[in-house]
Structure 1
């Protein structure tokens, strides 16, 4: 919930400092850069050390930094440079936390129940992170700008206390410490040699680039519409969260009905239509409907992708292969945010959304032969055969 509060408050904070599209989009760039820089070494670290300890460290760092941000806002010492620096360090801790948490689920849940477990976890997370948090963040920011960041800090510290009650989760595999870089290379090689997961990673990298270009500018677009202020912006995010919750809960059923391949690829087609819709919508209610659809689409495909990766990657490689996957995808986010800011400043916000929509449809067509139900069935059969042999 604390993180959801920050999700609404941070963009509002940077907009209160500057409404320059490049300055606003650069916040997402700095927050995304750590995924590019640290995802690979963190993958090796996750396969070495106790996963519970890593989560505690990551959340404690985030709580302390957000407390410092609240202090800077309260005392009036916040600058754009300081905000960028805090966004980078917070993104670093988030990168470690996300990679670590993903490796815990398949330890607790059997393969046939992964989609159901991930769907329930995603829905629970989104309920607090995106449904409850953002409107509260908008209200708190409107009342007192430093308050949402203080509450966010307390949320992370509370999360740390809860995580400390979990049993220890030691890694199953460790190499001599001087060979850590070889572990990183092993993760990259494994991902690149796996035809299906390599294609999914490239598909997600391209869609992440487009998504970053669009939503780095979304706060400027939304708050410029009549009747949408800081509170309205938080409510719009909440509407998207409702769709995300529904998509997460429905994902296992949709995947079993249409297949994982159609679910993943179909989400890219839908994404293109959503971006095109953003390019012409003027009414806040229509914008809310598009955000609802976007959240539903994200929830449906996100659960399928992470479950697929957990199922196909060997346990001793999950940290490193997961890190390699997120590295490939995350390379696109800073670039997409920067390009979105440049195109938005040059051509306009709506034009940027229209270009992103057209490109998303092209990307979906290009991957029809690579990401489909048949390819996923072959990959699952290979895992079954390897398991039987071992």
Structure 2
């Protein structure tokens, strides 16, 4: 794997990310099982996901400013230590029988907050650890191991550990984060020049939003991804109802379909450097929107579970390809002192579309029907892609990279 040749410093981050993501995968299975052992009320259990996802909307922007102000290695250490410590306390609560839903809600919110900080910080650290020609390889490796750990290794391990002893997965989870902390501590310091400034926090946040909005290409990519995220959330908010109603699928088949999507995501992450070099970042990003439209149109027409699995694998492949390329593009174009704030602004714009899309998907599914909603989403995705052909393409990326080189010497 080309990323392994990016150097020993990057390999430490890679191994730390793998350890943390295995822990995340364990928690993905064990935490809902633990909640279900406390309460069988669907609303009470489902609310756990709300508390876990809320920090991404609340803290993405301020954390972007924090990432540019403080040493990024220290922020990663704090985030991973906090997760390890909290999960250790949760394991203790389970072992001693002092477990309540209020405790799970609070822990889910704080764990989600630490995860938001860690994810945003890690993205800004990668460009300082590898040469620019290895960015796509490094990000592809991180994405692939993240999905593998989160979707394939961690969840079944979490289920097995929970079956053996309910507190055990959280103890193992805590140890995985403490292990990743030790690896991150060995990284070089990641302080930026912006840490020496004394402007207000609000000014930092607005600077990130303004920088993103003033950059023609990245503004277009952010808007493009917000629109496709909205459509994706609308489709997959309904997908479980659609898939489980098909003959021969059921709950087991539904899990296999999600596994097919995860396998495609891993493959796409690993292949992304190849496609980026052959097609260019602009064509890869824009092309992913047209592929998304075709996937949605296919969902509106297929009946066979095997074809549905093939579409899910194509969707995952598409997400893996474009996701890595988009991260690397921001790392190439955004100055080091702005990466935290601009990355936070980008993620905020995109993430705001997800809850709105899920809501619209529910309304559309109820009024139009499931297949009709998928078809409309596919047509809209193709329309969105057509609207951005002149803004996100091979020439616009080359032009943006040349401007970045002229202005900051980044490339």
TM-score, shorter chain, exceeding 0.5: yes
Q: Gaps (5+ residues) in structure 2?
A: 1-21
Quick one: distance in 2 between partners of 1:222 and 1:151? 34
1:262 maps to 2:279:
no
Q: Does 312-321 or 281-290 show the bigger shift?
A: 281-290
Match of 1:36 among 57, 64, 72: 57
Residue equivalent to 1:206: 227
Alpha carbons of structure 1 residues 102 and 339: separation in structure 2 relative to 1, 3 Å: same
Whether the aligned pair in 2 keeps the contact of 1:278 and 1:287 (CA below 8 Å) is: yes
Quick one: distance in 2 between partners of 1:42 and 1:125? 22
Alpha carbons of structure 1 residues 389 and 33: separation in structure 2 relative to 1, 3 Å: closer
Quick one: distance in 2 between partners of 1:66 and 1:345? 40
Deviations 1:266-309 (A, max 9, x none): 11111122233334545543333222112111111011111110
Match of 1:195 among 216, 219, 241: 216
TM-score (norm 2): 0.80
Deviations 1:129-180 (A, max 9, x none): 2332344456666777766555444433332233233333223322555622
Alpha carbons of structure 1 residues 41 and 266: separation in structure 2 relative to 1, 3 Å: same
Residue equivalent to 1:360: 381
How far residue 326 of structure 1 moved from its aligned partner, in angstroms, is 1.2
Q: Does 214-223 or 308-317 show the bigger shift?
A: 214-223
How many residue pairs end up in the alignment? 386
How far residue 325 of structure 1 moved from its aligned partner, in angstroms, is 1.1
Alpha carbons of structure 1 residues 305 and 287: separation in structure 2 relative to 1, 3 Å: same
Residue equivalent to 1:109: 130
1:94 maps to 2:115:
yes
Q: Does 330-339 or 35-44 show the bigger shift?
A: 330-339
Residue equivalent to 2:204: 183
Quick one: distance in 1 between partners of 2:81 and 2:57? 22
Alpha carbons of structure 1 residues 152 and 357: separation in structure 2 relative to 1, 3 Å: farther
Q: Gaps (5+ residues) in structure 1?
A: none
Larger RCO of the pair (alpha carbons < 8 Å, separation 6+): 1
Whether the aligned pair in 1 keeps the contact of 2:404 and 2:410 (CA below 8 Å) is: no
The 5 A counterparts of 1:211-230 are 211-219=232-240, 221-222=242-243, 226=248, 228-229=250-251
Match of 1:158 among 176, 179, 194: 179
How far residue 350 of structure 1 moved from its aligned partner, in angstroms, is 4.6
1:308 maps to 2:329:
yes
Residue equivalent to 1:296: 317
Whether the aligned pair in 2 keeps the contact of 1:28 and 1:337 (CA below 8 Å) is: no
Q: Does 32-41 or 218-227 show the bigger shift?
A: 218-227
Deviations 1:212-242 (A, max 9, x none): 333345455555664543x655544333222
Quick one: distance in 2 between partners of 1:216 and 1:83? 24
Report the aligned-residue RMSD.
3.5
1:246 maps to 2:246:
no
Whether the aligned pair in 2 keeps the contact of 1:135 and 1:237 (CA below 8 Å) is: no
The 5 A counterparts of 1:330-341 are 330-341=351-362
Quick one: distance in 1 between partners of 2:354 and 2:292? 16
1:326 maps to 2:350:
no
Alpha carbons of structure 1 residues 28 and 375: separation in structure 2 relative to 1, 3 Å: farther
Residue equivalent to 1:372: 393
Quick one: distance in 2 between partners of 1:224 and 1:73? 37
Deviations 1:177-223 (A, max 9, x none): 56222122221111111000000011111112222333345455555
Deviations 1:54-93 (A, max 9, x none): 11222233334445666778859565x7666544433322
Q: Counterpart of 2:293 in 1: which secondary structure?
A: helix
Alpha carbons of structure 1 residues 330 and 220: separation in structure 2 relative to 1, 3 Å: same
